[in-house]
Structure formats: structure tokens, C-alpha cells
């Protein structure tokens, strides 16, 4: 009689790169006899894969750990680990504050998870190094199982920009790019497992240098893979949008007409205080060049409201920039301090002022998103169907421009791209009919 497999529960916080990392952690632990479960109560090991970007990120992790104390009490052999960027930033503090935590592992060291788990018999484990060996070289190949039609694929990690508000250079380290041959091999394996669309990930993905032609060169090589029909990438920095990558948006049919290009603010004074190393005018001219290359490109962005020193005039400059760009999607947040970053030591904007400005900005962005979606009505678009909808006979997928689309369609279209004519727009999705 064989032993029952051990069960692994992973809770993922934050960005797409953490989603990718969680997949790879599950694969690494699969080699140790673990299978994934959707229930923490059922698990033999729990991993919290954390993000340090959002407000009070560390305290949210401690709260989650507190809720897991009864699980540990009921099952003393339960292993609990904290991974990701909060682990990197506060590894020793986590171990001090939460004796129930068995292991802490940073985002560059998670390939060592199996070894750490084996060493737990010798005591609690912490690994927040930036190892010389690449985790991508050490991790096992992805198992040959069927996958959803879309997948994330990390090609670059870390950041050398040192924006004054950001912890990424401290938690993810310096910019590192994966060699293109290994990225291409992983992409080919994903296609063989059923993937039709990949999103290339990086903290500063357009700084990718693992191919002689940079990210544009990598996109060109990926486009040659039969069965890979769509390519996207995120997140980019305006200063690394080179001529070749701009041209690729017009020349490469498989590169989708959607780009997330954070600007953070519209005031040159605030951009300088953020250490962004670009100004509003250069960003706007970059948008012009991208739209000249691909006129129907949908733009997305990030905005921070209430950065230290922001005046009403500075905030109005952000609103003016948004009005000029006209975003199809965007993400906006109140500034919150990150210990150890330069901006954390500066005089802060009043929280009520931040909240009021954020409400105004989000109202404008919401209106623009609604207008972008309503402009799709009557158009014919390609939709990659992914899953069944809530209504009988309905399928849901994503358009070329990354809008969610509902349509009456047979289940057999899951994982396939079909032409759809958009008939109506709702706040967060489109409805259409198969052509």
C-alpha cells in the first residue's frame, strides 16, 4: 500500500510574477511528493507567496499567519512557510514574531525549497540570499500536463531604476535576464501543453537583454513558434522602450495591441522626486510613437497619488496627462511608505487629501475605460476563449486588447481563437456574437 501524497496549499499575493513563482514552487515541491490542494485546512504544507508593493503588505501577512494558528495547533506536523518579497525584506522579523513559521524563503531562492523542507528536521529555515546560481537553471522542467490557454513566462527579474517609492531593487535585486534559448524552450513546452498566449514578465521587462535584439528580438523569435498565437509583456519602463520594440508593435502580428506603460505622475517636479528619470513630455511623445506604429493600441498605466510633496498643481498635471493619453485601463493608488526607501523619510501628504485626489483620478480613469469599451461596440475582434460563463451556453475569453468578452459559444472553443462582433459594453466586460 503506497503512502498518500502530501498536500501543498499556496496563497499568492500581488503581481503576475508571483503567480508564475507560485507555479514553479508547486512544481519544485511536486518532486518531493506534494500535490496541490485548494484548502489550507487539508494541507501538510502552507506557503504564503507575498508581495511588498501594496500598503501594509507585511501586516497583512502577519494577520494571515495569525488566522492559521488553529491549523497549526490542530496539526503540529503542518509546515508553514513565507515566500516572496515580504519574506525577503523581513525574514528574521517574521521568524521572531511568528514562532509557528517553519521556513522563510526569498523570491530568488525558492528553488531551494525542497532542500529547506528536508532540513526542517534540524530546525527552522531561512534563505533570503541572492544566490549565484539561477533558480531557473535549478528548477525542474514543467510537467507535461494540459494547461490553460494563457500562461505567464518570466524572462527578466529585478530593477536598477531605484524609484524613490519602490522596494523592488531591495527585494528582487539587480536586473537579470534569462537567456533567450531557455525562454524559447519553455515557451515551446507551454505550447505543447495547450498554451496559445504567453505574457512575458519582468519587473522591468523591456530592459530584457538575454537576446542580442533585446525584448524585440525575443518577441520576434517567439513569434516563429507554431501554435503560439499571442504575445504580451509587462511591466515596462518608459526609458527602455527602444526603437526596435516600438516598431515591433506595428510589425509583429502576434504582439497584441495592448501595452501597460506606467508613468506614475504627470508633474515633472514629482517625477524628478520619484527618481523616474523621464518627464511628462517625453512620455507623451513616446505614446505618440507607439500609436504611429500601431494606431489601435490600447494603453494602460500606473499612477501614484499623494507622493510626498505633491501639490494640487502637481496633481492637476497628472489629470492633464491622463486626459491627453486616454487610457483603456489603468491602476491608481494612494502613496504609502515603504521602510528603507528614500520617499519614506519625506514629509507626507495628508491622508484625506490623498483620498480625495485618488477619487477624482479614478473617476476620470473609469470614464476613459468605459469610453474605450463602448468604442468596441460594432467592431469585430479576435477572442481567445478560456472558460465557461455563468449563463448556459456562454463562454468567456479575452480580446486582442485584453478586454473580457462574453459570447454564446460551444465549450469546444475553449483554448481557441474565434472572431466575435461586439454587441454591447458593460462596466468591466464586453458581449458579442460569433462571426
Please give the annotated binding residues, written as ranges: 15, 51, 85, 159, 163, 166
**Which residues are documented as binding site for [4Fe-4S] cluster?**
15, 51, 85, 159, 163, 166
Query: Cell 532540513 sits at which residue?
Result: 119
Collapse the DSSP code of 41 into the 3-class scheme (helix H, G, I; strand E, B; otherwise coil) and give the result: helix
Q: Which of 95, 96, 5 is nearest to 105 (CA)?
A: 95
d(CA 332, CA 334): 7
Query: Cell 501586516 sits at which residue?
Result: 59
Question: Which three cell numbers, joined as nine digits, stand for 362?
Answer: 479614478
d(CA 179, CA 58): 33
The DSSP annotation for 284-353 comes to HHHHHHHHHH-TTPEEEEEEEES-TT--HHHHHHHHHHHHHH--SEEEEEE----TTSGGGGSPPPPHHH
Ramachandran region of residue 394, left (φ > 0), alpha (ψ -120 to 50) or beta?
Answer: beta
Indicate the burial class of 429 (C-beta count within 10 angstroms; 0-12, 13-18, 19 or more): middle
Question: Do 183 and 191 touch, CB atoms closer than 8 A?
Answer: no
d(CA 305, CA 157): 26
Q: Which of 330, 417, 428 is nearest to 373 (CA)?
A: 428
Give the side-chain half-sphere CA count within 13 A for 41. Answer: 0
Q: Please give the DSSP secondary-structure letter assigned to residue 413.
A: G
Question: Do 409 and 385 touch, CB atoms closer than 8 A?
Answer: yes
Amino acid at each position: 500500500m503506497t503512502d498518500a501524497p502530501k498536500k501543498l496549499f499556496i496563497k499568492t499575493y500581488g503581481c503576475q510574477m508571483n503567480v508564475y513563482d507560485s507555479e514553479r514552487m508547486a512544481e519544485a515541491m511536486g518532486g518531493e511528493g506534494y500535490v496541490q490542494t485548494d484548502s489550507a485546512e487539508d494541507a501538510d504544507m502552507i506557503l504564503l507567496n507575498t508581495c511588498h508593493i501594496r500598503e501594509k503588505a507585511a501586516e497583512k501577512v502577519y494577520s494571515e499567519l495569525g488566522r492559521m494558528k488553529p491549523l497549526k495547533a490542530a496539526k503540529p506536523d503542518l509546515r508553514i512557510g513565507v515566500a516572496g518579497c515580504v519574506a525577503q525584506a523581513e525574514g528574521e522579523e517574521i521568524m521572531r514574531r511568528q514562532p509557528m513559521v517553519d521556513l522563510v524563503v526569498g523570491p530568488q531562492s525558492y528553488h531551494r525549497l525542497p532542500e529547506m523542507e528536508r532540513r526542517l528536521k534540524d530546525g527552522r529555515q531561512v534563505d533570503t540570499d541572492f544566490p549565484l546560481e539561477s533558480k531557473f537553471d535549478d528548477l525542474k522542467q514543467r510537467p507535461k500536463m494540459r494547461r490553460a490557454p494563457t500562461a505567464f513566462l518570466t524572462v527578466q527579474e529585478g530593477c536598477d531604476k531605484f524609484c524613490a517609492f519602490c522596494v523592488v531593487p531591495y527585494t528582487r535585486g539587480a536586473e537579470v535576464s534569462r537567456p533567450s534559448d531557455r525562454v524559447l524552450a519553455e515557451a515551446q513546452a507551454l505550447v505543447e501543453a495547450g498554451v496559445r498566449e504567453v505574457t512575458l514578465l519582468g519587473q522591468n521587462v523591456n530592459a530584457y537583454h538575454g537576446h542580442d535584439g533585446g525584448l524585440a528580438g525575443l518577441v520576434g523569435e517567439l513569434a516563429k513558434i507554431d501554435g503560439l498565437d499571442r504575445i504580451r509583456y509587462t511591466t515596462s519602463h518608459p526609458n527602455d522602450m527602444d526603437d526596435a520594440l516600438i516598431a515591433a508593435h506595428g510589425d509583429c502580428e502576434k504582439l497584441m495591441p495592448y501595452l501597460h506603460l506606467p508613468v506614475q505622475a504627470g508633474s515633472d517636479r514629482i517625477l524628478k522626486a520619484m527618481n523616474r528619470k523621464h518627464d511628462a513630455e517625453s512620455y507623451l511623445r513616446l505614446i505618440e510613437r507607439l500609436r504611429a506604429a500601431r494606431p489601435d493600441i490600447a494603453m494602460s498605466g500606473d499612477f501614484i497619488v499623494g507622493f510626498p510633496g505633491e501639490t494640487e498643481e502637481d496633481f492637476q498635471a497628472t489629470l492633464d496627462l491622463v486626459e491627453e493619453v486616454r487610457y483603456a485601463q489603468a491602476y491608481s493608488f494612494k502613496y504609502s511608505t515603504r521602510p528603507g526607501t528614500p520617499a519614506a523619510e519625506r514629509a507626507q501628504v495628508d491622508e484625506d487629501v490623498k483620498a480625495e485626489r485618488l477619487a477624482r483620478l479614478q473617476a476620470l480613469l473609469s470614464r476613459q475605460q468605459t469610453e474605450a469599451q463602448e468604442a468596441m461596440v460594432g467592431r469585430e475582434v479576435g477572442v481567445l476563449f478560456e472558460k465557461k460563463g455563468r449563463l448556459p451556453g456562454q463562454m468567456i475569453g479575452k480580446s486582442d486588447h485584453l478586454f473580457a468578452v462574453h459570447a454564446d459559444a460551444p465549450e469546444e472553443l475553449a483554448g481557441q481563437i474565434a472572431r466575435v462582433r461586439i454587441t454591447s459594453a458593460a462596466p468591466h466586460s464586453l458581449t458579442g456574437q460569433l462571426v
